[in-house]
């Protein structure tokens, strides 16, 4: 029996683009395009089994070996620091982690800064590197509301187009770190299924260069 490679794909916004990267790399799985609510799809010919999971869960599947490889945002990798290998930058899902606040916000460094975020670990590390004392307010979504209701002074969140900030009268003050989607691998799978994983990684890297050249 052939060994299958289990691949965790992020369901949602980036999903289609991510699958296309694997398809272009020669690891297609036509049944994935059927319009149904199935979550697992396989193409035994190519030895691949894809499954859709919540984007922030991809690294959990990969770290524990339920998936051999997967695609995760750099934001999730920095926030949760999973014990996985980061094999490639896919150059999609590009955005940045940024500090934003109301337009009239002025930082009073004599006071503890109240920061609302979903990314507490990234935020703590960022302000520790600046030597700035903060009070973290951990939220799970709609972070943009926090400064408007004076729950926080600033927020640390993902900014892609900037529309969400603009529509809530907030603006970016500092960029914390640029973000994009990464190919990650389980450490032991990388050893035992190395040939197949490397084949996929190489094809993805090659296509990335071709895409760059055709821009």
158 binds ligand PRP (CB under 6 A): yes
Strands lying side by side in the sheet with 69-73: 40-43, 48-53, 5-10, 69-73, 181-185, 85-89
Binding span for ligand PRP by CB under 6 A among 39-47, 107-115, 160-168, 195-203 = 160-168
Residue 95 CB, nearest approach to ligand PRP (Å): 7
157 binds ligand PRP (CB under 6 A): yes
Residue 143 CB, nearest approach to ligand PRP (Å): 6
Binding span for ligand PRP by CB under 6 A among 41-49, 96-104, 154-162, 189-197 = 154-162
160 binds ligand PRP (CB under 6 A): yes
What track of x and - describes contact with ligand PRP for positions 101 through 140 (by CB under 6 A)?
----------------------------------------
Report the C-alpha gap between 199 and 202 in whole angstroms: 5
Residue 109 CB, nearest approach to ligand PRP (Å): 27
Residue 75 neighbours by CB under 8 Å, 6+ apart:
97, 119, 122, 158, 179
Residue 159 CB, nearest approach to ligand PRP (Å): 5
Answer for the pair 119, 79: CB distance below 8 angstroms, yes or no. Answer: yes
Question: Helix and strand tally (H, E) in the chain?
Answer: 8, 11
CB-side neighbour CA atoms (13 Å) of 178:
7
CA 212 centroid distance within chain? 21
- Interface contacts to ligand PRP, rule CB under 6 A: 141, 157-164
């Amino acid at each position: 029996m052939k060994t299958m490679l289990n691949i965790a794909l992020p369901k949602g916004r980036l999903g289609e683009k991510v699958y296309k990267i694997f398809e272009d790399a020669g690891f297609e799985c036509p049944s994935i395009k059927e319009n149904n609510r199935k979550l697992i799809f396989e193409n035994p010919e190519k030895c691949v089994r894809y499954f859709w999971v919540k984007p922030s869960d991809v690294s959990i599947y990969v770290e524990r070996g339920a998936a051999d490889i997967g695609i995760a945002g750099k934001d999730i990798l920095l926030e949760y620091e999973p014990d996985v290998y980061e094999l490639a930058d896919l150059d999609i899902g590009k955005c940045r982690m940024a500090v934003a606040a109301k337009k009239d916000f002025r930082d009073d460094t004599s006071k503890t800064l109240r920061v609302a975020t979903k990314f507490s670990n990234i935020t703590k590390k960022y302000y520790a590197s600046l030597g700035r004392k903060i009070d973290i307010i951990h939220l799970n979504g709609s972070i943009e509301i926090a400064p408007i209701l004076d729950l926080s002074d600033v927020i640390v969140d993902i900014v892609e187009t900037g529309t969400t900030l603009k529509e809530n009268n907030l603006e970016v003050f500092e960029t914390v770190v640029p973000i994009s989607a990464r190919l990650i691998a389980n450490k032991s799978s990388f050893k035992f299924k190395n040939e197949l994983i490397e084949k996929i990684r190489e094809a993805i890297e090659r296509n990335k260069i071709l895409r760059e050249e055709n821009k």
